[in-house]
Structure 1
Amino acid sequence: MVPRLTDARKELRRAQIAEAAVRCFGRNGLERTSIADITAESGLSAGSIYAHYRNKADLIQAAAREVLAKRAEVLGAYAASDTPPGPDELLARLIAAIDPVEARVGVQTWGEATTDPVIRDIVVDMTDRMRAMLHDCLTAWLVKVEHHEAAGAREHAAPIAHRVMSLYQAELLYTALRSPTEETAR
């Protein structure tokens, strides 16, 4: 009889697979990464991977959500602090936290989104979520630091969040283009 995985163990296994997928995508590209590559990278069987993810698009979505979850935790902490960072400081902190592998995977995903509707939906969803988190953080800054009224702060924060998001995405692209891949580093 095969032992059943606990929910916590399932989540750890899913994270292990998603992290292996990100490394493979960063090294080989989305299109050239196979489930066999992810199997080898994760040290798990193909059956184990398929038990957690239906296909590569499912893995791409999980990888994107994992990266976004890291940003959400940080942005939530910023928004909850007594003195949330303003737009310039917020952008500087986000840029400092860019991981080159994650940046390469992100840019590849954007490229795939131009021709694959499933990937496009993932990218649009992740972009909208990130912009909403930036909006919340900047609204908190306007209220707590700049002393705006809450209703007006939300409206005022929207175009600022859009600009911060655009500049952050530009830095992701710049990082992805200037970073050598793990393949050429070997």
Structure 2
Amino acid sequence: MQGMAVPRLTDARKELRRAQITEAAVRCFSRNGLERTSIADITAESGLSTGSIYAHYRNKSELVRASAHSVLAERAEALGEYAASSTPPDPDELLARLIAGIDPIKARVAVQTWGEATNNPAIHGIVVETIDGMRAMVHESVTAWLVKVEHLEPAEAQQHATAIAHRVQSLYLAQLLHTALQSPDEETAP
């Protein structure tokens, strides 16, 4: 065996593998709940070895954080596009777009994570970080709308955007909860 090179994963391949593991974790968390999901469940769901899972994530808490960051990254991309647009959406349209992007599986994981945050400090930190990040992105999008469409001065727009962004995010989170509480039959009903 001496002299055999061990293949190394490229950075792109590592990111693909991490995404594969995170997606498997989200499916398991949605189906079994955070508490009842084990690394063995995630291993089986991902089709990878336990060693591969642990090569990318030290524990389940890291997987929860990665899952939250994954969902936030999706929202960040969309919100960034809205803010960069020459005519960003008004708050009602922004809320409608955010709601249209809710994935029922990820909504269930989000709500489970919120529940776990009440008694697990590590998960609490993840939830606070995720919600604060989302709030900042919604604020940025609303500020862009106030400046580009409503023609407010940037400082005034920043100030006005705070209350508007808070309402938009609150309504979005309420819809996320509603979606998470729907049964799978209700999700597919017209």
Task: Give the alignment's TM-score, normalised by structure 1.
Answer: 0.96
Q: Secondary structure at the match of 1:111?
A: helix
Indicate the residue corresponding to 2:25 in structure 1.
21
Indicate the residue corresponding to 1:96 in structure 2.
100
Q: Distance in 2 between matches of 1:178 and 1:17?
A: 26
Q: Which has the larger radius of gyration?
A: 2
Which consecutive unaligned segments of at least 5 residues does structure 2 have? 186-190
1:56 CA drift (Å):
0.3
Q: Distance in 2 between matches of 1:14 and 1:80?
A: 29
Task: Select the residue among 150, 153, 157 that pairs with 1:153.
Answer: 157
Indicate the residue corresponding to 1:139 in structure 2.
143
Q: Distance in 1 between matches of 2:18 and 2:110?
A: 19
Q: Distance in 1 between matches of 2:88 and 2:183?
A: 31
Q: Which structure has more RCO (C-alpha within 8 Å, separation ≥ 6)?
A: 1
Whether 2:105 is the aligned partner of 1:105: answer no
Indicate the residue corresponding to 1:184 in structure 2.
none
1:179 CA drift (Å):
3.2
Indicate the residue corresponding to 1:8 in structure 2.
12
Whether 2:146 is the aligned partner of 1:180: answer no
The AA in structure 2 aligned to 1:26 is S
The AA in structure 1 aligned to 2:139 is H
Structure 1 segments of 4+ aligned residues over 2 angstroms from their partners: none
RMSD: 0.9
Identity within the alignment, %: 75
Indicate the residue corresponding to 1:79 in structure 2.
83
Pairs aligned (count): 181
Residues 36-75 of structure 1 mapped to structure 2, 5 A cutoff: 36-75=40-79
Is the 1:100–1:179 Cα contact (8 Å) retained in structure 2?
no
Q: Distance in 1 between matches of 2:147 and 2:161?
A: 10
Indicate the residue corresponding to 1:114 in structure 2.
118
Q: Distance in 2 between matches of 1:170 and 1:43?
A: 35
1:19 CA drift (Å):
0.3
